[in-house]
Chain A
Amino acid sequence: MRLQVENLSYHFGNKKALNNVSFSLSSGFNILLGPNGAGKSTLFSLLTGLRRVSEGRILINELSMKSQRQNVMRHLGVVFQENTLDLDLTVYQNLDYFASLHGLKTENALTRIEDVLEHLGLSSRLGDKVRSLNGGHRRRLEIARSLLHQPSCLLFDEPTVGLDIESRQLILTFVHEYVKRTDALVLWATHLLEEVAQDDHLLLLANGELKGDDVCGNLIAANGVDTVSALFNKYTKKDKN
């Protein structure tokens, strides 16, 4: 699996949200780190086809987001920053709806992710309305749902925002294990420094520009700082000045 972004720019009116961003990612856990307003969500809406690429290009497994959007979507599993579940439907009905939107028989899809549902503590809650789930369980459901069609590229836009430490850790550990097991590509956007490990591949985005693209430990060493926090501050402070 390969995700390539080439010379990607995006504007809102005259404000440049992304400026000539290029990177290439392969299977594994990759982090997109940036402060609020860095352009992470804009990048995600382009990667998920919700906004049209007008400058630059995005290739997912050599398929162009611009001209082969439908094929690209089959490879993508996405968790957005905000809730996208139907609160009035049950857990099962939400999964059922999503499976059908991907042309899958629900029973087959659910059997394939039985262990995921079990691991995320959702197996016993299939009949519950989503409205009755707490924030942590809703996020877990969004993650389980994104895996229903067995995508090879997973895009998570700040999926742990607003969760307690325990839920955050559970989700992060689960995704790390999932990547090891399936060889999927994960792009995990966050502004939470504690979610970044030294051996993660790190994309550092600030002010719409890519400031770093390497293994986290290498970036720290190359910038002459000691911690991710110092690295983060170095670029975000520079932007504010």
Chain B
Amino acid sequence: MYWHCFMGVLKREMLKFWQQRSRLLSALVRPLLWLIVFAAGFRSALGLSMIEPYETYILYDEYIVPGLAAMIVLFNSMQGSLSMVYDREMGSMKVLLMSPFPREFLLCSKLVGNALISALQVYVFFIIAALLSIQVSLLGYLYALPVIFFLALFLGSLGLLLANYIKQLENFAGVMNFVIFPMFFLSSALYPLWKMREASEVLYWICFINPFSSGVELLRFSMYEKFALNECIVMAFVTVVCFFAAVKSFEPKSNKPRKPG
């Protein structure tokens, strides 16, 4: 019975994605612009010293590929939260909440569906990057898969949590400005943290504690067949916290009378 339910939720996520095929295009345009245009312009300006997990000097294009892959997951997860708000406004959220299965299970199924879509988008991006001669080993692509899922679960949980506080679709612009952009730019996605430290110690620490940085680094290490234990622990912690906070926020509301005075 759980299997039917899980597959049903997954199927719906896939159907919705299939209906919005332009989502794939828009998910790819953004990182490809960064990779082709931005990276070309900054290649010579941004010199990178040899840092882990790289074993040799690398070009800037190669450096930003894991960050851009994480960017795809970030945008797709926030798109997931947007669709939750849409479902709530359209009333179809009630159908999900009326299921006899535990809400943790239902939300988790939704997150896995979202993670699958993220993985699909990221691998299409990897293929295009490989065509542009930016590639890693086959094993690197394989190791990246669980990390992409992990990152998608974290960002999806965060998206679910946000969906509860976004009262209307129109408020989604706020999420772009206050969540997506700060999370992306204040991370190691586009520049190594030591570069940021040279510019500002405060910004460095903000980037350092940003869990999205941990996700990016975990992905970067996995793509080079290495494992970043600390980043993995941070990711596990924030994923669990965000997921249970999201589940809690989906609990039925209870209103007791306010005490006078």
Q: Which of B226-261 contact A (CB under 8 A)?
A: 251-258, 260
How far is B12's CA from A85's CA once the two chains are assembled, in angstroms?
13
Count the A-B residue pairs with Cβ separation under 8 angstroms: how many? 102
A209 to B36, CA, bound (A): 67
A101 to B1, CA, bound (A): 9
Interface residue ranges of B1-30 to A (CB < 8 Å): 1-2, 4-5, 7-9, 11-12, 15-16, 19
A198 is an interface residue with CB less than 8 A from chain B: no
B258 touches A13 (CB 8 A): yes
Which A residues are CB-close (under 8 A) to B106? 101
A78 contacts which of B19, B90, B98 (Cβ < 8 Å)?
B98
Q: How many residues of B contact A (CB 8 A)?
A: 34
What bracket does the count of chain A residues touching chain B fall in? 35 or more
B9–A93 contact, CB under 8 A? no
A12 to B254, CA, bound (A): 9
- Contact of A88 (CB < 8 Å), options: B16, B94, B95: B16
- Which stretch from A28-36, A102-110, A182-190, A216-224 is at the chain B interface? A102-110
Extra inter-chain contacts (15) besides given A48-B98, A52-B251, A100-B4, CB under 8 Å:
A11-B258, A50-B94, A51-B255, A52-B254, A55-B256, A70-B102, A73-B98, A84-B91, A86-B92, A97-B12, A100-B5, A101-B9, A101-B101, A102-B5, A103-B1
7 tightest A-B CB contacts, nearest first? A100-B8, A103-B1, A52-B254, A73-B100, A101-B99, A84-B91, A52-B252
A: residues with CB less than 8 A from B are: 10-14, 16, 48-55, 70-71, 73-74, 76, 78, 80, 82-89, 93, 96-105
5 A-B pairs (CB sep. < 8 Å): A54-B256, A97-B11, A101-B95, A101-B106, A103-B2
